[in-house]
Homo-oligomer: A and B are copies of this chain.
Amino acid sequence: MLPFEKSEYEARIKRSKDKMHELGLDVLLVFDPANMNYLTGYDGWSFYVPQLIVVAIDEPYPLWIGREMDAEGARLTTILPEENILGYPDHYVHHPDRHPLDFLAHQLKMRELDRHEMGVDMDSYYFTPNGYECLRRNLPRVTFIDINDLISAQRSIKSERELEYMRQAGRIMNRVMEVAYEVVKPGVRECDAVAEIKAAQIRGVPGEYGGDYPAIEPIVLTGNRTGAAHLTWTDQPFEANTVVILELAACRHRYHAPLARTIHLGQPPDDYLRLADTVIGGLNAALDALKPGTTCEEVELAWRESTQRNGVKKASRIGYSMGLNYPPDWGEHVMSLRRGEKKPIEAGMTFHVIPAIWQAARGVEISESVIVTETGCETLCSVPRAVHVKT
């Protein structure tokens, strides 16, 4: 039982091949686990060893190449016929004198797929420089063309079924944040709060559907750690009269709904509430601007015009496209909401809009995950857009 109809995977493969035709490529090597999943359904925690999908323009289905012990997982989770699933023997794994991509190169040669140009996603996690050198050594006549965006860009516009999974993730995320608001309090160890948060992520919506693992672990920032962006939890207790920033997500069939919120333990000072109002006003302005017909930089400009009159500055992007992914990131790496980025916003795109302000002992993070509709945007979650004050 795959999350999508076979025809949906086939349509994705077809669109990728159309792109290959445009670029004059006969072969694609797809190392990115999200792209592997997108094209074939493959879903296993096996990306810690080299694995990939080979798309050959004349073959109806791609090849899956991975470790022999994971071939059964490929049989169970992909649309691929048996003969397209190739496992390499275990003696290739973590061996100083052999590399799994030696096996790949051999397979490509046997099938006469070692053409003069080959598309590769050169910035994908888990495809290492060693693997790349191994391919160059084995396939000296091949020129490797970076096609990093060929499949990822396609992923940025979602189908109805994909959007449905993201809405389901959003519903799980609502429950996760409800749990977080309940359990985070002075004297409770950060790890005990995260234990409940993680359980809620995976439990999902009881009686309806469960949750999958998000691509990023819970980010928990409190005390002097609110000036940092990506630290996880400690086993120290939360203190009274402090800020607690949470950046969390829920995940359904690898589709994400991230959400950041800020809890204030104890009544916040007025200047903190003013900062929070500015952050919320900026987020609202960005969401109002996010619709088909605008560009990434125009959305950022709407945010900037709203916030700079209150003296808030921010050096980093205010959001990015996201959706289907594996650790270490739920972002798609296709679009960023920032100055100078002129990519057009289209219906069916999904963004995490997160104009976070990190300041030691008083940061504010309030975000929304959204679907771009024909006329504006729809939020995946429905948690009030406010600092949650616990007195």
Question: Are A203 and B209 also in contact (CB < 8 A) when A73-B229, A73-B231, A129-B120 are?
Answer: no
Chain B residues positioned under 8 Å from A44 (CB to CB):
228-232
**B200 lies within 8 A of A195 (CB):** yes
Bound Cα distance A95, B191 (Å): 35
Chain B residues positioned under 8 Å from A203 (CB to CB):
191-192, 195
Question: Considering the complex, which residues of chain A in the window 110-155 have a beta carbon less than 8 Å from any beta carbon of chain B?
Answer: 120, 122-133, 144, 146, 148-149
**A212 lies within 8 A of B232 (CB):** yes
Asked if A72 CB lies within 8 Å of chain B CBs, one says: yes
Question: Are A72 and B358 also in contact (CB < 8 A) when A199-B195, A210-B192, A233-B210 are?
Answer: yes
Question: Considering the complex, which residues of chain A in the window 272-327 have a beta carbon less than 8 Å from any beta carbon of chain B?
Answer: 315-317, 320, 327
Closest to A227 in B: B72
Bound Cα distance A339, B93 (Å): 13
Which of the 9-residue segments A11-19, A256-264, A330-338, A368-376 touches chain B?
A: A330-338
Chain B residues positioned under 8 Å from A213 (CB to CB):
217, 232
Bound Cα distance A90, B336 (Å): 11
**A328 lies within 8 A of B48 (CB):** yes
Bound Cα distance A215, B234 (Å): 16
**B68 lies within 8 A of A315 (CB):** yes
Among B89, B94, B196, contact of A199 (Cβ-Cβ < 8 Å):
B196
Bound Cα distance A144, B69 (Å): 33
Asked if A158 CB lies within 8 Å of chain B CBs, one says: no
Asked if A267 CB lies within 8 Å of chain B CBs, one says: no
Among B128, B144, B149, B201, contact of A125 (Cβ-Cβ < 8 Å):
B128
**A235 lies within 8 A of B210 (CB):** yes
**B317 lies within 8 A of A90 (CB):** yes
How would residues 176 to 219 of chain A score, 1 for a CB under 8 Å from any chain B CB and 0 otherwise? 00000000000001111011101111111010011111001101
Chain B residues positioned under 8 Å from A127 (CB to CB):
128-129
Asked if A107 CB lies within 8 Å of chain B CBs, one says: no
Asked if A81 CB lies within 8 Å of chain B CBs, one says: no
Bound Cα distance A122, B219 (Å): 29
Chain B residues positioned under 8 Å from A125 (CB to CB):
48, 125-126, 128
Among B130, B194, B336, contact of A93 (Cβ-Cβ < 8 Å):
B336
Spell out A's residues near B (CB within 8 Å): 43-48, 67-70, 72-73, 76-77, 89-91, 93-96, 120, 122-133, 144, 146, 148-149, 189-192, 194-196, 198-204, 206, 209-213, 216-217, 219, 224-225, 227-235, 315-317, 320, 327-329, 331, 333-334, 336, 338-340, 358, 360
Task: Name 7 interchain pairs, CB-CB below 8 A, sorted by A.
Answer: A45-B216, A45-B328, A48-B328, A68-B315, A94-B331, A123-B129, A129-B132
**What would 12 more interface pairs be, CB under 8 Å, given A72-B227, A130-B146, A198-B199?**
A44-B229, A45-B216, A45-B232, A47-B328, A69-B315, A90-B338, A91-B339, A120-B129, A129-B129, A191-B203, A191-B211, A198-B202
Pairs of residues from A and B, 5 with the lowest C-beta to C-beta distance, nearest first:
A191-B210, A210-B235, A129-B132, A48-B329, A90-B316
